[in-house]
Amino acid sequence: MTDRQGQLRLVGESSRRLKDRWRMSPMHDVTTRAPLGRKALFHSTAWGAIERGISAEAPPFTVSALFRDDAARVLAEQRALEHLPTSDEHLCRRIESAILAAVGAAERLWNKKGVSNIGI
């Protein structure tokens, strides 16, 4: 997820399908909890971190996904990994580590501030 300035705000791997993690859910009024009659994008496990971040920054935010097959193809083409990990979990964790190293400031990420293994 990136913010209005294109800064990375949330990064992580998921062992579940994209639509399981990011789903359209009914919206409710924060104070009264009354249904608002429309849906919005919701993250199943990192919503608390996202909500805290959004309270300090204004939208829009962009959610992007890199799927395993595409990542493996790009890494193979770039010879970024000598041997592609056989397990999806290992490949995803290596990609997440590479992204965090490239960003260089995990403290800017909503889901990494003092949180370990949030599992997004």
- Rounded-to-integer distance, Cα 40 and Cα 22, Å: 10
What is the model's pTM? 0.61
CB 39 within 8 A of CB 26: yes
Contact partners, residue 103, CB within 8 Å, separation at least 6: 8, 11, 109
Encode the chain (120 residues) as per-residue pLDDT tens digits. 888 888 888 887 776 777 777 888 999 887 899 999 999 888 877 888 788 888 888 778 888 888 878 877 777 776 665 666 666 667 777 777 777 777 766 667 777 654 443 333
Q: Is 113 left (phi over 0), alpha (psi -120 to 50) or beta?
A: beta
